[in-house]
Amino acid sequence: MSALPDFKDRAKAALADPVLKTAIDRTTGNAERKRAAALAAFPEFEAARARGKAIKDHVTAHLDHYLEQFERNATARGAQVHWAADDAEARAIVTRICLAAEAKLVTRAKSMLGEEIGLPHALADAGIERVETDLAEHIIQLAGEAPSHIIWPAMHRTREQVAELFKAGHQPPPAAEDPATMVQSARRVLREKFLSADIGISGANFLVADTGATCTVTNEGNAELTTTPPRIHIVTAGIEKLVPSTAHAFALLRLLVRSATGGEMTQYTTFHAGPRRPGDADGPEEMHIVLVDNGRATMLANEFREMLRCIRCGACMNHCVVYRQIGGHAYGGTYPGPMGSVLTPVLDGLAASRDLPNACTMNGRCAEVCPVGIPLPTLLRAWRRRSWREGLEPGSVRAGIGLWAQLARRPRLYRLATRIGLPLLRLFGRGGWISRLPLAGGWTDHRDLPRPAAQSFMDQYRAQQKGRK
């Protein structure tokens, strides 16, 4: 929920953890390969991406219209729609519903929006038992951790570590450490909870305006077991999840699943349209939908508008060289990776998170794989611009760039500076390399610096030209 300012310390700790690196390489490497294979078998990807982008842009441009339409249709189906301006309001609404229903036990299907608004802590504070039903969320609940990836929340944990967690957290512990036995053990533990929960809370991958339905997609079926047996189903969703119709949801789903897991379709794709109707065999008695703004309306009107297209597939982080070194927790916000580095300053403020948009090489691979064409490096640069303008960049950086710019803006002075500076710099070198340079430890701590030329290109060139004349 809240970003911590010590990004560099967290990154350093992550880099020093070889088990974490193994876990990251396994998951992101797999994700990258599977996505590539899925796209190779999907020649219409570019057309689908253009359509997905157009759908999201259309909804963003007419958000008020679709929000009203969604509320009207969801209400007509018997759901109660609530509006939350920020995370605190969203927490308050959910907690109020839970307390009014005298809920003791709540099951939850994985939802990053729920993490964003701090739902796990809010339920704990209200004295309500929360059970995470997604297998990976179950793992990190046992570990007392937050998600490190938006698709695989427990991707930072190796199979071996999960076995330890289950041994300690399951009663009785799993009989063996192979994946199948461990999954069976989790299923047994979770089954009891599914059937005894008072309330089930889910997110939504899509909010369908013309039917008033919310849509969840999973590969485990836990969302259906979370939302169907309990008396009450609560949906928490960001307002950017709206689509005009079911057909539009499927157009985006084709992109989402291939980009996230490399599958063609999720195992379970469920549309929840209102509570149980008379004659229905099952379903909740009440359905509540909490529509959360939490900074999104502001993004509509500023330079981060394109970020509202995000469908939370995780491809940007799977293909990010920084994420693949430090993992998700080092980022310190709800959302990691490139998309998180754009969103965290929105959610937690730029002052607390200015490192995130800066800790990027601007290599552009994230934008290349984004299924809805979000120009992530451009948006990260927009945060850098704000950070510079608001004076949040460290004094040393401002001074360095300032001094360099003063020289670069004066070509004659710049020539003079290279004429004096290059021979001085060469004094630090031996052979063709400089292996230690004061004030440049960021470079020479890790790699050698090629010794600069004794005379700059411009000076050499000018001397040659004079010689020719």
Minimum gap (Å) between residue 27 Cβ and other proteins: 16
Piece in contact with other proteins (CB under 8 A), picked from 79-87, 174-182, 306-314, 445-453: 445-453
Question: Among all chains, which residue has been given the structure tokens 């007419």?
Answer: 62
User: Residue 446 Cβ, how far from other proteins at the closest point, in Å?
Assistant: 4
Which of 408, 416, 420, 463 touches other proteins (CB under 8 A)?
408
> Which 274-333 positions form the footprint of other proteins (CB under 8 A)?
321-322, 325-326
Choosing from 33, 41, 450, 463, the residue that interacts with other proteins (CB under 8 A) is 450
> Hey, how many other C-beta atoms are within 10 angstroms of the C-beta on 453?
14
- Minimum separation from the CB atom of position 468 to other proteins (A): 13
Based on CB atoms, which residue is closest to other proteins, 175 or 416?
416
Measured from the CB atom, the residue of 171 and 457 that comes closer to other proteins is: 457
d(CA 104, CA 98): 8
Query: Between 9 and 28, how does the x/- string for binding to other proteins read (CB under 8 A)?
Result: --xx--x-------------
Binder to other proteins among 40, 409, 467, 468 (CB under 8 A)?
Answer: 409
Instruction: Assign 3-class secondary structure to the chain.
Output: CCCCCCHHHHHHHHHCCHHHHHHHHHHHHHHHHHHHHHHHCCCCHHHHHHHHHHHHHHHHHCHHHHHHHHHHHHHHCCCEEEEECCHHHHHHHHHHHHHHCCCCEEEECCCHHHHHCCHHHHHHHCCCEEEECCHHHHHHHHHCCCCCCCCCCCCCCCHHHHHHHHHHHCCCCCCCCCHHHHHHHHHHHHHHHHHHCCEEEECCCEEECCCCEEEEEECCCHHHHHHCCCCEEEEEEEHHHEECCHHHHHHHHHHHHHHHCCCCCCCEEEEECCCCCCCCCCCCCEEEEEEECCCHHHHHCCCCHHHHHCCCCCHHHHCCCCHHHHCCHHHCCCCCHHHHHHHHHHHHCCCCCCHHHHCCCCCCHHHHHCCCCCCHHHHHHHHHHHHHHCCCCCHHHHHHHHHHHHHHCCHHHHHHHHHHHHHHHHCCCECCEECCCCCCHHHHCCCCEECCCCCCHHHHHHHHHHHHC
- Regarding 58 and contact with other proteins (CB under 8 A), the answer is no
- Measured from the CB atom, the residue of 221 and 441 that comes closer to other proteins is 441
Amino acid at 311: I
Q: Which of 19, 362, 399, 420 binds other proteins (CB under 8 A)?
A: 362
374 binds other proteins (CB under 8 A): no
With CB under 8 A as the contact rule, the residue among 168, 385, 399, 423 that binds other proteins is 385
Least distance CB 415 / other proteins (angstroms): 8
Q: What angle do CA 461, 465, 469 make, to 5 degrees?
A: 170
Q: Does 414 bind other proteins (CB under 8 A)?
A: yes
In the complex, least distance from residue 363 CB atom to other proteins, rounded to whole angstroms: 4
User: For residue 31, what are the contacts with CB-CB under 8 A and spacing of at least 6?
Assistant: 151, 260, 261, 262, 314, 315, 318
Q: Binding of other proteins at residue 127 (CB under 8 A)?
A: no
CB of 193 to other proteins, least distance (A): 40
Shortest reach from residue 246's CB to other proteins, in Å = 35
Task: State yes or no: residue 368 binds other proteins (CB under 8 A).
Answer: yes
Stretch that binds other proteins, among 144-152, 272-280, 289-297, 410-418 (CB under 8 A): 410-418
Judged by beta carbon, residue 220 or residue 355, the one nearer other proteins is 355
Bridge partner residues of 213 (DSSP):
208
By CB under 8 A, name the one of 118, 173, 263, 452 that touches other proteins.
452
Q: How far apart are the first and last CA of the chain?
A: 69
375 binds other proteins per the rule CB under 8 A: no
Compare residues 28 and 227 and give the one whose CB is closer to other proteins. 28
Sign of the Cα torsion 3, 376, 391, 327 reads: positive
Task: Considering the complex, state which of residue 195 and residue 463 has its C-beta at the smaller distance from other proteins.
Answer: 463
Asked if 447 touches other proteins (CB under 8 A), the answer is: yes
Identity of the residue, 17 or 86, whose beta carbon is nearer to other proteins in the bound complex: 17
State how far the Cα of 145 lies from the Cα of 162, in Å rounded to an integer.
13
Asked if 360 interacts with other proteins (CB under 8 A), we say yes
Residue from 86, 198, 210, 393 in contact with other proteins (CB under 8 A): 393
| 101 forms part of the interface with other proteins (CB under 8 A) | no
Q: Does 351 bind other proteins (CB under 8 A)?
A: no
The span of 92-100, 173-181, 199-207, 412-420 binding other proteins (CB under 8 A) equals 412-420
The site that binds other proteins (CB under 8 A) totals a number of residues, namely 64
Q: Which residues bind other proteins (CB under 8 A)?
A: 8, 11-12, 15, 321-322, 325-326, 358-365, 367-368, 381, 383-389, 393, 397, 401-402, 404-405, 407-409, 411, 414-415, 418, 422, 431-433, 435, 440-443, 445-453, 455-458, 460-462
